[in-house]
Structures are given as C-alpha cells and as structure tokens.
Chain A
Amino acid sequence: MVIQYKCPDCGADMVFDSKTGRLYCDSCGRSEVIDDYKAGEFKPFEEHFHTSAFDGDEVNQYQCNNCGAILLTDKDTTATECSFCGAPIILGDRLSGVLAPSKVIPFAISKKEAETAFKKWCRHGFFMPKGFKQADRIKNLTGMYVPFWLYDVQGHGEVFAHCTRIHRHDEGDFIVTKTHHYDVYRKIDAKYNNIPADASEKMPDNLMDKLEPFDYSGMKNFNTPYLAGFISEKYNYTDKEMFSRIQERVTGYMEEYIASSITGYSSVHTVNHECHIMQRSAEYVLFPVWIVYYDYDHSEYTFAMNGQTGKIAGMPPLNKAKAISSMAAVTLLLFIICRIITVLMGGPVL
C-alpha cells in the first residue's frame, strides 16, 4: 500500500517540514497539522517478493501514484521517493502490525541546516586534511528514520566485598598502621528507562551509539506524515534479538552504581557479585538521522548526524603530517621547559 500526501489546494506532494513540524506543500505553501491526520490503519503486513532482473536482490513491487512508475525498493524500506518523478512515497503495509512503530522523533534539523552544520563541523576539525575541511564534496545527504528499540529495563545487583579502612598515627619512633577489615554487602534495585538500541543491520552500532542522547520530550506518537520526504526503514532485529546488547550495557551501568554505593573505605575487594538484567518493555521507535556521504581522496566517508540535536559521528580522514608535527611541537616545547627548569636548578643544559 503506497501512501502519498497530496495538497488539498494544488494537488502537489506534501512533505514533513522540520521547522514547523507540519506537512508542507512546496508548491503553494499550504501547511497541515499532522495531529489532524488519522493514524494509518493498514492491512496486516504481508510481503510479496519478486526477483529483480537488475541486481538479483529481493525487492517488492509498488507503483507510484503520480507517474505510475514501478518502485524498486529494498526489502527494509518503509519510506522513500519515486526514482522517476521524485514524489515522496510511504509504504504503509510495511508500517503495520508488528512493524508499526509506536513513537517517532521527527526531524528538527532541515537538510539545509544539516549541510551547514556538517560544513561547520568539518571546518573545526583540527586534524582533518585541508581539502576535507572545505566540505565541498558532499556526495549525498539523506534524511533517514532509523529503527530503534527503546528498552525499559530492571536491574538487580548484589555484591559481597571485603573492604578496609586504614588509620595511621605516630607512636614514638614508630608509625602505627591500623587496618580495620569489613565485610560489606549491597543489594541494588535499579530501573533504566528508554535505553535505545538501533535495530537496523545497515547502521553501524558504534556510529548510532555516538548519536545519543536523543531528547525524548520531542517524541511523538507515530504517524505516517512524519516520514513524508524522508527515507525510512523497518527493523531487522526484534527486541529479543537486540536485548543482549542492552544487557551488556546495563551490566556496566549497574557495576558503576554498586561501586558508587560503597564509599568511605581505603580499599574495596569484590568477593562475589551478581547482576540480573530483565526487560520490562520495548518500544519500536523511529529516530531521525542525517546520513552524509562524502568523497575525499578516492574514498567514501560516511557520517551520521542526529536529526534532532545535530550531534555528528563518523571518523574523518586524518592529516597525518599535522598530527605528527603537533605531537613533535608539544613534545619539544615540554622538553625545552623541562630543561629550563633543570638549568635553573643548577643542572646541565643537556
């Protein structure tokens, strides 16, 4: 099922406007409040696979309502644009049933703002090559709703530790060190809410983790108009499949929490500790990400920008000469300072 939002005045395609948070018609300037649109009621999700003669991948067949062209889409795509007429297309059947997101954070940064922010970020990269800093080779800038699972998690932790408190005092010609030993126990009950984990296999986890935090106050109940004009994908991994990542992350959080609850000791030696992380709930949400493809020195670099906060992640190329010369300059400067101090204290120059 293909969804397209037509302007009631001029019939042109409407897209989501990040500035106003409304559907906007580029042709006549009309804007529509998204809350007025009824959330989509689609048929249960069902995919029909056809083998493409072009690339051999699994693709679904949809037809553009504007030009009638057949849309060739990736099997994970839920929103895209017609490759012939450029009309924004939302594939409603891929956003229904178990694949229906419950929440969405709409884009707050427009394409132009994203480009400006990226160029600014490049200019401030101290160790980036000069040619890269000019940021004039942006190959593509794509606004994408990336599928995430938002977990509410319950953590139980228990720790037994052997701790000491050390007191020192002088007694005549001796220093007396008294070490008081303690058996320490802590039981922690902690709840963590809305921990995100990206559920798309195409998005590198480390890149998506660096885009956090998202501002959840800007989160809306999902409605398809938010996707108009952007690319969107459905999840590749279920919440159960992704939970091991969350368990690992929360275990680290719990260990920090437990450690912060044992205070006032000179030393803490953990004898035994246990952590149980349980999933309370998981929500399927879409988060806005600008993907920047950048060509530099015969290589393509990919960067991700949080479409809500503007935070950028992605490893830029390194200006090795500048990095090495900076290291050498800092080292030399410090060495000169050290030698000046040595000479002032009466030592030799070298």
Chain B
Amino acid sequence: MITYIRNIHRYIFILSVILFSCLVPFMTANAKTLIQDDADIISDNEEEKLYNLCNSILKEYDTSVYIWTDPFISGSMNFGYKMEQFVSKQQETDVVFLMIGMCPGDRIYEIQGYGTAQDMITDKRCAKILDYMHSDMTEGKYYSAIEKFCNKSYEYMGKSPKLDSVIFSPIIQLILCLIIGILPIAIMVYNSGGRITTNSRTYLDKNNSGVIGRFDRYTYTTVKRTPKPKQTNNSSESGGGGTSHSSGGGRSF
C-alpha cells in the first residue's frame, strides 16, 4: 500500500499521457494541410511557404487545405469528379481544395469547398478566387497564384458570404448614410418656410361629385412560364451520389 502511494505520481503521469493522446485527435479534428505537387510547378522553398499559409487557415478555422497539381488532368476530363474522389480518400469533412491540371494544351484549375468551407467559400467566391488567380496562372506565376488562393481563402473563411453584398461596402454605406442624412434635413429646411397643407379633397364637394360613367372590360390574358430559381444555398450537388460541395466551375489557362 505504501509502495502504491509512493508511486502515485507515476500513475498520474501515465494517466495524463493516455488521456492527452486520446484527446489530441479530437482537438485537431483531423484537419491537415496537403500539398501534392505532382506536376512539379512549385519549388520546395515555395511549398514550405505555402504550407505556412495553409496552416494559418487550419489553425484559425480548423479547415483543411488541399493543393493538388497533376500533369495529366485536363479540362476535357471530369476533373470535378476527380477532385471529389481525392477528397473522399482523405476522409475529411471541412476542406478547401485547389486543383491544377497541367495537361499540355488543356490546362485547367478549379476550386472546391467542402463542409464549413462549402458554406464560407461559396460557388460565387470560388469563381472570384479563380478570376483573381487567372492572370498569374496564364503568366505561369503558379506560386503567386496559389498564394493568392491561400490568402483569399483565409479572408473568406473569416467573413460570412452575406457580407459580399455591396450593401456592406464602407463606401456604399457612407453614400447611403449621406443621402439618408441629407434628405430629412433638406426637407426640414425646405419646409421651414411653411407647407401647403391643402390637397385635392380640401375643396371637393363630396355630395355633388362622383364617377358618372365607368367600365372595366376584360380583353385578353397572356401566360408566361419561367423556371423556378434554384435553391440559393450557394452550393452545388455533385452528380452520381458524390459529396456536396461548392465549386467555381474551373478555368482554362
């Protein structure tokens, strides 16, 4: 019994190590940064820098970032499906994924968002990032383009898509506030010299006025059919029972 009490600090230490090792997987939630440069378009040094950038997204938003370059994937292939397969192999839920297909003559790059990233990096935002990267991609500045992808992804992960509306732009808000600020005061100043308070009913002899002739004749009816707008949850469902994700639609370069 005395030996047991003496060694109690050892037991506590062992117990702590076991508990910690059990908790670590839950704490990191399997999120990871994966840069697979099969097409070899970025240097090791650049890859290192990109890792750091991606890790900031990982740490801040507990979301994985995958960057996959492939020398054979082309725009004419079902590259979206290939990206889904790539993600499903990793068995992770919250992923933002950039794929660059370097097949000569038919190069393509595409962004997809899964889980939380699907909500935050919507179709529209994916397309925005693709457009933002486009000039660098066409000029062969792949590192710069991927860096832009990382920075924009980080920015969008911390900002609700609702805030993309121009109404949240400080300049637009300032202009609107200026109009709303000027209008009532301009009306007050204009009315400071007195207002006309009579109207069309003030002098009307109601007892001797009225509609003395009228008709409402139906002539014809026109019918227009328009397709219902799709659900605006900013995500697209992949076909063939794939995982739900957002997508920018891909860009050739």
Which A residues fall within an 8 A CB radius of B? Answer: 125-128, 158, 163, 170-171, 173-195, 207, 209-213, 252-253, 256-257, 261, 311-316, 318, 323, 326-332, 334-335, 338-339, 342, 345-348, 350
Query: Which of B's residues lie within 8 Å of A, judged by CB?
Result: 158-160, 162-163, 168, 170, 173-174, 176-178, 180-182, 184-185, 188-189, 192-198, 200, 202-205, 208-228
With A213-B202, A256-B200 as known contacts, state yes or no: A330 contacts B185, CB within 8 Å: yes
Cα(A185)–Cα(B184), bound, Å = 39
B95 CB → nearest A CB, Å? 21
- Inter-subunit contact A327/B227 (CB<8 Å): no
Query: A252–B200 contact, CB under 8 A?
Result: yes
Secondary structure at the A interface, as helix, strand, loop or mixed, is mixed
Which listed residue (A194, A312, A314, A318) contacts B189, Cβ 8 A?
A318
B172 CB to closest chain A CB, in angstroms?
9
Which of the listed residues A180, A191, A313 has the most CB atoms from chain B within 10 Å of its own CB? A191
Whether A188 contacts B226 in the complex (CB less than 8 A), given A195-B203, A213-B198, A331-B181, comes out as: no
Question: Contacts A194-B203, A327-B182 known; A170 to B228 CB distance under 8 Å?
Answer: yes
Chain A residues with Cβ below 8 Å from B217 are 182-185
- B209: A residues at CB distance < 8 A: 188-191, 257
- Let me know if A188 and B181 touch, CB within 8 A: no
| Among candidates B192, B202, B212, residue contacting A125 with C-beta atoms closer than 8 Å | B192
What is the count of residue pairs linking A and B with beta-carbon distances less than 8 angstroms?
A: 176
Q: What are 27 A-B pairs with beta-carbon distances under 8 A?
A: A126-B188, A126-B192, A170-B228, A173-B228, A174-B227, A175-B227, A176-B225, A183-B215, A184-B215, A185-B213, A187-B213, A189-B210, A190-B204, A193-B203, A210-B193, A213-B202, A253-B203, A257-B209, A261-B211, A323-B185, A328-B181, A330-B177, A330-B181, A330-B184, A334-B176, A335-B173, A342-B163
Chain A nearest CB, measured from B234 CB (Å)? 16
Alpha-carbon distance A312/B225, docked complex (angstroms): 58
Q: Which of B160, B204, B219, B227 interacts with A182 by CB under 8 Å?
A: B219
Given contacts A210-B196, A347-B159, contact A185 B214 (CB under 8 A): yes
Known contacts A181-B221, A253-B200, A346-B163: A339-B173 contact under CB 8 Å: yes
- Distance between Cα atoms of A323 and B197 in the complex (Å): 24
Instruction: Give the 7 A-B CB pairs with smallest separation, nearest first.
Output: A187-B213, A313-B194, A331-B181, A315-B193, A330-B181, A253-B200, A334-B177
Check B194 against A179 for contact (C-beta < 8 Å): no
Q: Is the CB of A261 within 8 A of B205?
A: no
> Given the complex, which residues of B lie within 8 Å of A186, measured CB to CB?
211, 213-214
Write out the residue numbers on chain B whose beta carbons fall within 8 Å of the beta carbon of A350: 170
Q: Are B194 and A311 in contact (CB under 8 A)?
A: yes
Tell me which residues across on chain B come within 8 A of A163, comparing CB atoms: 216
Once the chains are docked, how many angstroms separate the CA of A187 from the CA of B212?
Answer: 6
**Residues of A with C-beta under 8 A to B227:** 173-175
In the bound complex, CA of A170 to CA of B178 (Å): 41
Whole-angstrom CA separation of A192 from B207 in the bound complex: 11
Contacts A210-B195, A346-B159, A347-B160 given; does A174 touch B168 at CB 8 Å: no
